[in-house]
Copies of this chain bind each other. A is one copy, B any other.
Amino acid sequence: MTQTTLGIHDVGSAAALAEVARRDASDPLRRYRDAFVLPPGLIYLDGNSLGPAPKAALAALHTAAHEEWAQGLIRSWNAAGWWRLASVVGDKIGRLIGAEPGETVVADTTSANIFKVLHAGLALRPGRTAILTEKSAFPTDIYIAEGIAHSTAGVTVRLSDDTGADFAKKLDGDVAVVLANQVDYRTGELRDVARVTARVHAAGAVIAWDLCHSAGAMPVDLAAARADLAVGCSYKYLNGGPGAPAFVYAATRHHAHLTQPLSGWWGHAAPFAFETAYRPEPGIRRLMCGTQPILSMRAMQASIDLWDDISIADVRSKSMALTRLFIDLVETSCRGHGLTLVSPRDDALRGSQVSFAHAHGYPIMQNLIARGVIGDFRAPNLIRFGFAPLYVSQRDVHDAVVILKDILDSGSWHDPAYAALSAVT
């Protein structure tokens, strides 16, 4: 048996199983696994796309539907606190991203919130007209920036090729707002929020952080970085449920000057006064627009409440251990099968996901899914695996690699059925 410093490289061996069992036994987060519904026989490595269902979320959803909606009816806007829910849940998320109370609110979709914060950023820097983001950003970031440029005279979008020289070159005195992803959705590359924010500020611009792939996966400290604006998703590492509403953040120092065109009645200072002119709410709720989906939000609230007792330092520590183990085991046991790591090898530069490039990534991933290992494929050639520390164990990582190795060794992914499967996620 090949022994390495990790001692478990020979996947499938008794020694490997003993070692992952030992590690799982000392995992400070292990009790959270039982907080989720995890279908038996499945290794779920796609919580970076859709988190599994917390049992508490299912219970909260039942109460919201059967008691608050069905029995309480319209009275629940007051009696069940629906009206303030976006702020209550927003503040809970705020705690995970380094926001003060009153700086985060649940609203709409990530895409819509990007629209708001980019407009807000442009308004905070009058005279400047450019939005800067990265070519590698999640596409909706770019599409929304384009939508603003097409509909707003003079506004342009710049795409940087990298986060280094080209970014610096394009970050000139005409850039009003930068939209940056804390974690690259394809590679899992992690950006230094404080450092990038400081660079953007030094150039006189404001920054909007897209936290979709970091919130709930690692410590985020927007206040320490003096970040201006942020958006993020609740249904990935935060396990809010499919399509649960997104969140949006703005630092308190900007609130008085915060404007955005989606000025719907939920962002009004007195929504039920039915005034005929818009008058924005003084705080973060001016980034709201319309009525939020309460049933989805109640499930999400229970998911977010799970985080009350969780040490985010433990989450990050376990996340690094899981991703490191996966990289290590794959590279050792699947050598020669054409997989190339595209995620950073350095723990400190890697988010909670690992992507490998493979010329036939699509059928390989379909074969994995058919075998009960759920990751996803990202065009053109990436197989992507997310490691959510609340419910993924070292044993899961080990077993996933056993199956991946078997698929590659046996060539079972060559079955044309896998390439023929359609998938949208």
Q: Given the complex of chains A and B, what is the CA–CA distance between A369 and B73 in angstroms?
A: 12
Mark the stretch among A3-11, A265-273, A328-336, A349-357 that contacts chain B: A265-273
Taking CB atoms, residues of chain B closer than 8 Å to A245 are: 293
Q: Given A58-B65, A111-B290, A112-B290, A74 and B53 touching (CB < 8 A)?
A: no
Q: Given A61-B61, A295-B295, A139 and B374 touching (CB < 8 A)?
A: no
Taking CB atoms, residues of chain B closer than 8 Å to A71 are: 37, 39
A82 within 8 A of B: yes
Q: Which of A49, A114, A144, A242 has the most CB of B within 10 A?
A: A242
A105 within 8 A of B: no
Taking CB atoms, residues of chain B closer than 8 Å to A307 are: none
Nearest B-chain residue to A134, judged by Cβ: B276
Q: Are A261 and B150 in contact (CB under 8 A)?
A: yes
Q: Given the complex of chains A and B, what is the CA–CA distance between A241 and B338 in angstroms?
A: 50
Taking CB atoms, residues of chain B closer than 8 Å to A76 are: 242
Q: Given the complex of chains A and B, what is the CA–CA distance between A112 and B267 in angstroms?
A: 12
* 18 new A-B contacts at CB < 8 Å, known A112-B112, A293-B295: A37-B70, A39-B73, A46-B74, A50-B73, A68-B242, A74-B374, A75-B369, A109-B264, A115-B264, A139-B274, A143-B278, A147-B260, A151-B261, A152-B261, A243-B297, A293-B296, A295-B295, A295-B296
Taking CB atoms, residues of chain B closer than 8 Å to A299 are: 65, 295
A358 within 8 A of B: no
Q: Are B83 and A119 in contact (CB under 8 A)?
A: no
Q: Are A261 and B296 in contact (CB under 8 A)?
A: no
Mark the stretch among A27-35, A215-223, A408-416, A417-425 that contacts chain B: A417-425
Option from B61, B243, B293 in Cβ contact (under 8 Å) with A65: B61
Taking CB atoms, residues of chain B closer than 8 Å to A275 are: 139
Q: Are A274 and B73 in contact (CB under 8 A)?
A: no
Nearest B-chain residue to A36, judged by Cβ: B70
Q: Are A139 and B265 in contact (CB under 8 A)?
A: yes
Q: Given the complex of chains A and B, what is the CA–CA distance between A259 and B265 in angstroms?
A: 24
For window 327-377 of chain A, which residues contact chain B by CB distance below 8 Å?
A: 369, 374, 376
Q: Given the complex of chains A and B, what is the CA–CA distance between A78 and B424 in angstroms?
A: 7
Q: How far is the CB of A334 from chain B (nearest CB, A)?
A: 23
Nearest B-chain residue to A85, judged by Cβ: B243
A163 within 8 A of B: no
A246 within 8 A of B: yes
Q: Given the complex of chains A and B, what is the CA–CA distance between A276 and B140 in angstroms?
A: 9
For window 103-160 of chain A, which residues contact chain B by CB distance below 8 Å?
A: 108-112, 114-115, 119, 135, 138-140, 142-144, 146-148, 150-153, 159
Taking CB atoms, residues of chain B closer than 8 Å to A62 are: 62
A167 within 8 A of B: no
Q: Are A143 and B268 in contact (CB under 8 A)?
A: yes
What are 29 A-B contacts defined by CB distance under 8 Å?
A37-B70, A39-B70, A42-B73, A44-B73, A53-B69, A62-B62, A69-B242, A76-B242, A83-B425, A108-B290, A109-B292, A110-B290, A111-B262, A115-B289, A119-B151, A139-B268, A140-B290, A142-B276, A143-B264, A143-B265, A147-B262, A147-B263, A148-B261, A150-B259, A151-B152, A159-B276, A241-B295, A244-B293, A273-B379
Q: Are A142 and B277 in contact (CB under 8 A)?
A: yes
Q: Which of A49, A82, A83, A278 has the most CB of B within 10 A?
A: A278
Taking CB atoms, residues of chain B closer than 8 Å to A83 are: 424-425
Q: Are B272 and A379 in contact (CB under 8 A)?
A: yes
Please, what's the 1-or-0 string for A280-305, where 1 marks a CB less than 8 Å from any CB in chain B? 00000000011111111101000000
Q: Given the complex of chains A and B, what is the CA–CA distance between A379 and B274 in angstroms?
A: 7
Taking CB atoms, residues of chain B closer than 8 Å to A261 are: 115, 147-148, 150-152
Please, what's the 1-or-0 string for A196-211, where 1 marks a CB less than 8 Å from any CB in chain B? 0000000000000000
